[in-house]
Structure 1
Amino acid sequence: MQNLVKGKRIIVTGSSSGIGWETAKFLSDQGAEVLGIDVTKNFDHVEEFYRADLGDKRTIDALVDALPDGIDGLVNNAGLPPTRPAEQLLAVNLVGLKHLTYQLIPKMNDNASIVNVASLAGHGWAQAVEAIKAADGMTFDNIAAFVERWKVGSEGGRSYFFSKEVIMAWTLRNRWTWRDRGIRMNAVSPGPVDTPILGDFLKTLGARAEEDRNTMDRAGTPADIAPVIAFLLSDMTHWIRGANIPTDGGMASNLLCKAHGL
C-alpha cells in the first residue's frame, strides 16, 4: 500500500503541528505535493506554505485566490481547542472550514477527496439535530447571536463539541453533493490524541476527559490518524462517501455498547 497519494496535490489545514503536521509528513513521504495552511509559520513537509487565519472571511477569500487549481485533496484539520472563546472557536472550526471548502470546490479536480477531521466529541450529533440544522444559517456575522440563541458557549467545552457534531452531520449530508464530478467527502474522528492541545481538553472537560483517559489503553498519536486520512485521500476510496471513520482506540464502539447495553 505504498504511494497511496503519489502525484496528488493536497491541501492540509493546520499543517504546522499535531495531526496536521504528521499528515503533511505522511502525505509528502507518500509522494504527494502538500500545500500547508496554518496561522503559525512552519515549512516542514510542505511544497508551499500559506499563512492564514481561517476564522476570517476576507483572509480565506484571499487565500483561495492565491491557491492553485488542480487540487486533488483537502484535509480540513485546522481547529481551536475548547479553551478558546466560543465565537472564535466556531469561526475557525465550523464557519471558516465550510467557507474554505465551498470556495475551493471550483479549484478541485474531478474525483477529488475532502477529508474532515472531526472528533469523538461529535459522537452525540444525533441529539443536536435541531441546532445543527439551524447552523446552516451561521455566518461570520451572526456567530454571537447563534451562540446566545442555541446556548453553545464554551462552558464545559460545549462549543467544541457542537462544532464537531455539525461537521459530522455536514459530512453525512454532503455524501452526494458533488457526485456528478466524483468529488467525495468523508470524515475521520480521532479520540484523545497526544498533541500540543491535549492539555486544553483535559483542562476544559475535567472528569469526563479523565474517565475517557482511564478507559483507553493509551492516548492516540498523530501517527495513528495520518494513515487513515491518507487512505481516504487515495484512489482506493472512490466508493466511500459521507462516511466517518472513528480512529479512537475503540472509544466510539465503547460508547455505543454502553448506550445499548451490549
Structure 2
Amino acid sequence: MSDRHAGQVVLITGAGRGIGAATAKLLAARGAAVGVLDIDETLAKETAAAITEAGGRAIALTADASDRAQVMTAAETLAGQSGPLTGIVNDAIWIRYEPVEAVTDEVLGRMLDVGVKGPFWGVQALLAQRAEGEVAIVNITSPVAEVGSAGTSSYTAIKGAIAAVTRQLAVELGPQGVRVNAVTPGAVPTPGARTIVDEAGYDKRRAQTPLGRLGTEEDIAAAIAYLLSDDAGFVTGTILRADGGITIKSV
C-alpha cells in the first residue's frame, strides 16, 4: 500500500475484469477509494472484494455503462459512500470485429452505446458528483484510431471518436479545472480481448511490437494511474500510448 492516490475517489467503468479491474486494484493499493462499475454483478463484487481483502476501499456498482441513469446513480452512490469524485476512467467497451459489409445495425448500435455514449455519461456523472479543485477524466482509445486494420471499422469509428472528443473536452472543460486525457493500450490479452483474438493473432501483434512482448493489464493500469495523479497536473488533451511502440511501427 502507498498513499500516492490518497484522497482520490475514482469511478471506473468496465472494472469487473481486465484493464479496469487492474486499474481499480492499483489505485486502491495507492490509497484511492474506487467504484468498481460493471454490468456483471458477480465480476464487480469479486473485484471489489479482492480490493477490500487487501486493505483497500472499494464499492461494487452494477450498472450498464451505456445507460445514463444507471451511471449517474452509480456515481451518486460512490460519492455518498466515499466523498465527491476526483476522477473517472471510462474503460467499458463492447467489441465485435467483422468486415464492413457484415456490420449490422444491432451490433454497431450496441458498440456505439457502450463505446461512445458510455464515456459521455461517465463525464456527466463525474461533473455531477465532482470534488472541489482539479479532477481528471481518462478515456481509453486504441491504435486502430491511428492506423488502418482490416475488419475493425466499427471499433475504429468508436475509438477515433473517443480520441477526438478527448482533445475537445480538454479545451471545453479545462477552464473548469478538469483534465481530460486518454490511454492507447497496445496488444493486451485480457479476458474480453481473448474472445476475439486468437493465439495466432497475438503472435502477430507481438511481432509487430518494437518492445517484443505483449502488454499486461498492469502496464495499462500504471499509465492510467499516472494521468490521474498529481504528477500529470499539467497534462491534458494527451493521448498516452502505452502500446510497446506498435502504433509508431504501423505508421
> Aligning the two structures, in what range does the TM-score lie when normalised by the shorter sequence?
0.7 to 0.9
For the residues of structure 2 that align with 1:35 and 1:209, how far apart are their CA atoms? Answer: 31
Deviation of 1:198 (Å): 2.2
- 1:226 and 2:221 are equivalent in the alignment: yes
Pair 1:48 & 2:59 matched = yes
| Match for residue 214 of structure 1 among 207, 212, 221 | 207
Return the offset for 1:6: 1.5
| TM-score, structure 1 normalization | 0.78
Where 1:12 maps in the other structure, the secondary structure is strand
Check the 8 A contact 1:54/1:96 in 2, yes or no.
yes
Q: Distance between the aligned counterparts of 2:88 and 2:72, measured in 1?
A: 16
Residue 112 of structure 1: aligned partner: 135
Q: How far apart are residue 64 of structure 1 and its match?
A: 4.2
**Greater length-normalized contact order (CA 8 Å, ≥ 6 residues apart):** 1
Query: How has the CA–CA distance of structure 1 residues 80 and 179 changed in structure 2, closer, same or farther, with 3 Å as cutoff?
Result: same
Task: Name whichever of 53-62 and 18-27 sits farther off.
Answer: 53-62
Determine which of 99, 107, 129 is the counterpart of 2:121. Answer: 99
What's the offset of the Cα at 1:26?
A: 0.5
Query: 2:35, 2:60 within 8 Å by CA — same for their partners in 1?
Result: yes
Q: More deviation in 63-72 or 216-225? A: 63-72
**After superposition, what is the alpha-carbon deviation per residue over 1:186-235, rounded to whole angstroms, capped at 9, x for unaligned?**
000001101002223426xx998764343222211101111111111011
Q: Percent identity?
A: 29
From the superposition, tell whether residues 174 and 57 of structure 1 become closer, same or farther in structure 2 (CA, over 3 Å).
closer
Say whether 1:247 aligns with 2:217.
Answer: no
User: 2 CA distance for matches of 1:211 and 1:193?
Assistant: 13
Normalising to structure 2: TM-score of the pair? 0.81
Look up the match of 1:70.
Answer: 84
30, 50, 60: which one pairs with 2:71? 60
Structure 2 CA distance for partners of 1:17 and 1:61, relative to 1, 3 Å: same
Measure the CA separation in 1 of the matches of 2:26 and 2:68: 29
Tell me the amino acid that sits aligned with residue 84 of structure 2.
G
5+ residue gaps, structure 1, are: 126-154, 257-262
Could you say if the C-alpha distance between residues 61 and 31 of structure 1 is closer, same or farther in structure 2, counting changes exceeding 3 Å?
closer
Q: Which runs of 5+ in 2 are unaligned?
A: 52-56, 98-105
Tell me how far apart the structure 1 counterparts of residues 160 and 203 of structure 2 sit (CA, whole Å): 21
